[in-house]
Amino acid sequence: MPTSRVTRRTFLTSAAAGAAVVGFPLPLRAQPRTLKVGAIHPVTGPLAEVGQLQRTHAQLAVNDINAAGGVKSMGGARLELLTGDSESKAEVARSVTERLINDGAVMVIGGFHSGHIMAMVPVVQQRRVLFIIEIGAADVITRSVAQSVREGKQKTQYVYRIFPSTSTFGARAVQNMTAVFRETKTSPRRVVVMYTNDAFGKPQAEAFVGAVKAAKPGFEIVEVIAYPEDAKDLSTEVSRVKALKPDILSPITRPATAVLLFQELARQRVDLMGVVSPGAPGMTQPRQLEILKENLEHVLVSVPWPNPKSARTQKVGEEFGKRTGGKSMDETAFTYDGIQVAGDVLERARSTDPDALVEAIRKTNFANPIMVSAGPIRFDDGGENLAATTAMVQILKNKPQVVWPKDAAQAQLVFPRPKV
């Protein structure tokens, strides 16, 4: 009987198989390293609904980047989301930022509430960690950092925003409102502004008022009414609105006060051509739609929004719906683009060195955002996204629908609001 010749290859193969059988570990190939990205959102507290939606978008984006091969320039490094809950409190947002950086976050995204973001900014600047603001509008956030850099108080700007600033919101709101009135051949004249008196609402209202004065669009703001961020009753403020007899009410709300406002408008039977917001949360989120139902019907909001005509947006939206029990995407989808920009920056930086990341983000030209955009995401010297813009969204049959600009519109706009 012939004897079999044992070669080195067959010996190694047999040995490996034997080792697996008896439980000895096999040598493993080097695995791609993990890059930690901190994501800080208000997952509990009054802003919990939007924070939870942001977190879902962040995880979807991380999953998509990893499924596509991770950060290829760094050997296929995978992104890992380090999540932090600001609890809808500025002081917590600051401490959570410190914790995530200590836990190894190479960059941070997040915010939502401008006051929370302003508490986070000194931390990232001091710790030299890139901060991408995906949602948060107050002009002062980036301007204060840019000014400090120009004056030599700080060497480098680590804060960049892809979301529209309050100035952009104001200008785009006037443009969108003018387009809606022109398209519907209507001529509203009198506008009353209501706003939540906080770090978002006050500058947002001021930007809108300033944009109206500058543009002279054919309508004027006859009154501006502030109310507390934590208001429990808006009956007095709504009575003032009713007495002023405006054509348009332009509210800047938080989600909780949006419920108070629209219930009170219905209770007092305020007669308006329409409600047209220059941009705010509270009129397009699933929870508010569920509570307010017909009280939100035909409301118009000039707000950042996913592009319904984009095949990529549709694909992300389908997965988002699966994870949220059928919810549609809204302005919180900017968080998805924020993570995608973070991945793009890491890809081009080929490093987690803070200065390399800053150099890379300054050269960003991200061409395929899922949001309605004025072009590729690019940043100016102050850290603002030059392509940030808004769409006009209308609540139709209890669902937010893009009605302007035309190239992104998915429904025909209705104005004035039909009489009940």
Give kind and range of the element (H or E) at residue 80: strand 78-85
Residue 12's pLDDT band (boundaries 50, 70, 90)? Answer: very low
Chain mean position to CA 214: 27
Q: What is the pLDDT of residues 269-321, one digit of tens each?
A: 999 999 999 998 889 888 889 999 999 999 999 999 999 999 999 999 999 99
Residues of the chain with pLDDT > 70, as a percent, come to 92
Give kind and range of the element (H or E) at residue 39: strand 34-41
Q: How high is the pLDDT of residue 51?
A: 94
Chain mean position to CA 353: 26
**Phi–psi pair at 233, nearest 5 degrees:** -155, 135
**Neighbour-count burial of 29, counting CB atoms closer than 10 A to its CB (0-12 exposed, 13-18 middle, 19+ buried):** exposed
User: Going by CATH, does the domain composed of 34-164+309-389 fall within 3.30.2270.10?
Assistant: no
3-state SS of 276-330 is EECCCCCCCCHHHHHHHHHHHCCCEEEECCECCCCHHHHHHHHHHHHHCCCCCCC
Q: How high is the pLDDT of residue 385?
A: 97
Average pLDDT over residues 252-263: 92
**Neighbour-count burial of 244, counting CB atoms closer than 10 A to its CB (0-12 exposed, 13-18 middle, 19+ buried):** middle
> Which residue type, as a one-letter code, is found at position 56?
T
Reduced to 3 states (helix: H, G, I; strand: E, B; else coil), residue 248 is strand
Q: How high is the pLDDT of residue 242?
A: 98
Taking the C-alpha atoms of residue 315 and residue 307, their distance in angstroms, rounded to an integer, is 11
Q: What's the mean pLDDT when you consider all of the chain? A: 91
| Residues constituting the chain | 420
Q: Which residue has the higher pLDDT, 35 or 7?
A: 35
Contact 61, 128 (CB under 8 A): no
**Phi–psi pair at 45, nearest 5 degrees:** 90, -170
Reduced to 3 states (helix: H, G, I; strand: E, B; else coil), residue 34 is strand
pLDDT exceeds 80 at position 11? no
Q: How high is the pLDDT of residue 21?
A: 39
Tokens encoding 410: 């998915």
| Backbone torsion region of residue 177, taken as left when φ is above 0, otherwise alpha when ψ lies between -120 and 50, otherwise beta | alpha
pLDDT exceeds 60 at position 20? no
Contact 57, 64 (CB under 8 A): no
Tokens encoding 104: 């190894």
Q: What is the pLDDT of residues 344-376, one digit of tens each?
A: 999 999 999 999 999 999 999 999 899 999 999
Residue 13's pLDDT band (boundaries 50, 70, 90)? Answer: very low
Could you tell me which residues are beta bridge partners of residue 384? 161
Nearest CA among 389, 385, 390 for reference residue 403: 390
Nearest CA among 208, 223, 184, 229 for reference residue 417: 184
pLDDT exceeds 50 at position 153? yes
Q: What is the pLDDT of residues 173-202, one digit of tens each?
A: 999 999 999 999 999 999 999 999 988 899
Q: At a CB cut-off of 8 Å and minimum separation 6, what does 287 contact?
A: 49, 255
Q: What is the pLDDT of residues 362-412, one digit of tens each?
A: 999 999 899 999 999 999 999 999 999 999 999 999 999 999 999 999 999
Strands (E), 202-296: 220-227, 248-252, 274-277
- Which of 10-14, 52-56, 82-86, 202-206 is least confident? 10-14
Tokens encoding 242: 């009713």
Cα distances (Å, whole numbers) of residue 141 to 6, 137, 253, 384: 71, 8, 20, 10
Given CA atoms 170, 56, 59, 307 in this order, what sign does their dihedral have? negative
The whole model's pTM is what?
Answer: 0.85
CATH architecture of the domain covering 167-303+392-408: 3-Layer(aba) Sandwich (3.40)
Contact 106, 93 (CB under 8 A): no
**Neighbour-count burial of 349, counting CB atoms closer than 10 A to its CB (0-12 exposed, 13-18 middle, 19+ buried):** buried
Nearest CA among 386, 406, 409, 186 for reference residue 276: 186
pLDDT exceeds 90 at position 216? yes
Domains of the chain, by residue range, sit at 34-164+309-389, 167-303+392-408
Can 34-164+309-389 and 167-303+392-408 be said to share one CATH topology? yes
Q: How high is the pLDDT of residue 32?
A: 66
> Which residue type, as a one-letter code, is found at position 314?
Q
Q: What is the pLDDT of residues 24-83, one digit of tens each?
A: 444 444 556 999 999 999 999 988 989 999 999 999 999 999 999 999 999 999 999 999
Radius of gyration over every alpha carbon of the chain, rounded to an integer in angstroms: 25
Average pLDDT over residues 83-95: 95
